[in-house]
Structure 1
């Protein structure tokens, strides 16, 4: 079901937070004694990150690009409800019907537009499962700029056709660690993470004339751009005469969850009503919101960018390999972390076997193949909608209905489903001792940095 107009404004959540987000901090010293990498943003993206403004006009060129695939479908997944024994309706918002196969295109188009207007000739990024890299490659092709992607090597080897699709769209693709950057050369043997891929992209962009680093998930402006998901979903539910008391999205750094959930928070705050339960479904291999620490941490492996206040398991933590793919990022977006700290959103961790089982059930019931990341959200939604009074998320079960975002399709992830059916998958959760060590030296939010004056943080 579509039946609603395409939003022409994004909706932000910053005006509805009681406090400003904690300010970023400068890292102590860049590795090798350098001065650090400066990531230059177009001024409009800076404004979207800091200004407490609720509505932002979407540029006409971006609206025109959105029209190729938006509004995206929303339907009641009655067959999936039967498959999981749901006692309340489950509504699905599907973001996989575009060239990138995921929600990532919503912000990729916006960012490519702003960077192109700022005179940037090449965008450089890191990607985990390849959805963001594909989205940025498509957006760069649309707005006439070059694209270079560093993709986590294990993901690229498992999904070589992600690389093929990005190259078809005109991008240059490197497996990370690539050997092309100093951060890769200095990385520990066997390290294969999104943090490293991002670090390589940051370094590469800094030394390439006319290039800029571009990120697709954790930044406040990227979550703002994703608000089209929740805005459409709210209108579509209203057109159906339906209501929900739980909203679920998977979370890597946070753009998909923020996109589906935060417009519901903003609407409730603006109208003085109670918001639905907003549940971030994360990977049990990377449990920043359920087992992490609210602290200042780096966002990439270079350690040269600003330190951000986030829920984190530590950027140095060696994340166990899994089919969580794009969810395998050590930290959560600072806006989501601040809201988690204030109990305005909540989280649950899902293992890859449960996630892929939920994805397989959804495929057989609804004839749509979800990405493994989306399987985490579907598993959490099934818990919330199930029989009984208390779900395995640790919260009361939904009484009215559950809205879940299926963030992308899984047609390039069939290897994961094959391993599931072959019984080859295991659950390798984080080691508690290693988690503690990875965050032991991180300054907690509210703690003073060394040499700082008193009382400036919050």
Structure 2
């Protein structure tokens, strides 16, 4: 198991656009982040030693398995080998535990006693609840109401781990607008965290430090592929905000930029219901529904966009991480959008062929991998970021023919992004 995280920041060759302070904030915005997480977000240091306390927790489930999915290859008529990196074999059922453990450690060391978060499908909330149990912190989770209704056992598992769980909108904060969105759940968590001593807001996916923590996925995959003597020319992951895709893909990019290996295609697969990378704009936008946090340069469909309920679950977020957005802008990341029927069908095919039930988010990645496996020349690596054992209602609806694709409406996208300040479009090479 790797003993260090690897940052891609030293290998970009450009600076990320700075965050902007929103106009309604009274003075500079305080992030409340532990100093080490701030350092991990901005430093050009490449390797970061994983704290021993976090390593001890990682050892309970890492390294995670990688295998060649030969049965899935036959199922989707792949022309090249498809390798799967599976992150669903821990108590949270997803890759989210990799950063949850690290963040809980740093918040505990900073003197925080309670962390508060928002979660979409519940994987992040479950991971943070588990990490708080491991490090002795209180945990409060605001979960997208529609997802909590569809996946009640996610709430059960979080409560089993000691967390307090609220359906969002909860009635506990001033926020009520924003529909069935992760931005609203995050906004409620931000407001709630500000209202209590010893509380801190904790985010799971889009920040540089969370993507850094997830680099264990790609670093392990590189070693495992090398041990197999296997080569891939495409690395695939699903994108909500970006930690799963960043974790599997960016170590390959860092390795190439450091002169250690050839370049590979980095393919981000998103939901057609929230198509920020394929139909959004590169602009400054809010990461939550309060509008009080820093505005980040991201590919976005607008934080005010009304996201329909769908089985894209954790992918139901309006923007992509600023790091991945910058890489997309500079042409280092490709992106495709997949509908929920294609995603769930890919998940079904994977379940019957490989005997592993993937989460709907991972179904999107598998659908993208199936497409790539018919185009690539050497091989495809895909991250199955979590299991779908608590998402079986989605598969029930697929089998009953009740799943509809909900592509984002063009007029609604235009309206939601009309007021955003565009990042200077002085770069070329976007694919």
Pairwise TM-score range, normalised by the shorter structure: over 0.9
* C-alpha spacing 1:410/1:207, structure 2 compared with 1 (3 Å): same
Cα distance in 2 between the residues matched to 1:373 and 1:399: 26
Query: Is 1:127 aligned to residue 119 of structure 2?
Result: yes
Q: Return the offset for 1:321.
A: 1.5
In the TM superposition, 1:215-226 aligns within 5 A as: 215-226=203-214
Equivalent residue, structure 2, for 1:26: 21
SS of the residue 1:248 aligns to? strand
Query: Is 1:440 aligned to residue 421 of structure 2?
Result: no
In the TM superposition, 1:27-426 aligns within 5 A as: 27-30=22-25, 38-184=30-176, 187=177, 191-271=179-259, 273-386=261-374, 397-426=375-404
Q: Return the offset for 1:221.
A: 0.2
Equivalent residue, structure 2, for 1:390: none
Q: Return the offset for 1:272.
A: 6.1
Cα distance in 1 between the residues matched to 2:64 and 2:91: 13
Uncovered stretches (5+) of structure 1, i.e. residues with no partner: 1-5, 387-396, 448-458
Q: Return the offset for 1:36.
A: 8.3
Q: Return the offset for 1:274.
A: 3.4
TM-score after normalising by structure 2: 0.97
* C-alpha spacing 1:359/1:238, structure 2 compared with 1 (3 Å): same
Cα distance in 2 between the residues matched to 1:298 and 1:272: 37
Cα distance in 2 between the residues matched to 1:35 and 1:317: 27
Equivalent residue, structure 2, for 1:391: none
Q: Return the offset for 1:39.
A: 2.6
TM-score after normalising by structure 1: 0.92
Number of aligned residue pairs: give it.
425
Cα distance in 2 between the residues matched to 1:138 and 1:132: 10
**Preserved CA contact (<8 Å) 2:21 2:28:** no
Cα distance in 2 between the residues matched to 1:272 and 1:445: 32
Q: Return the offset for 1:299.
A: 0.3
Equivalent residue, structure 2, for 1:451: none
**Preserved CA contact (<8 Å) 1:320 1:429:** no
**Preserved CA contact (<8 Å) 1:105 1:139:** yes
* C-alpha spacing 1:36/1:302, structure 2 compared with 1 (3 Å): farther
**Preserved CA contact (<8 Å) 1:37 1:203:** no
Q: Return the offset for 1:271.
A: 1.1
SS of the residue 2:288 aligns to? coil
Cα distance in 2 between the residues matched to 1:205 and 1:43: 18
SS of the residue 2:147 aligns to? helix
Cα distance in 2 between the residues matched to 1:36 and 1:281: 35
**Preserved CA contact (<8 Å) 1:252 1:282:** yes
**Preserved CA contact (<8 Å) 1:127 1:197:** yes
Cα distance in 2 between the residues matched to 1:20 and 1:422: 49
SS of the residue 1:309 aligns to? strand
Cα distance in 2 between the residues matched to 1:106 and 1:251: 16
Q: Return the offset for 1:35.
A: 6.1
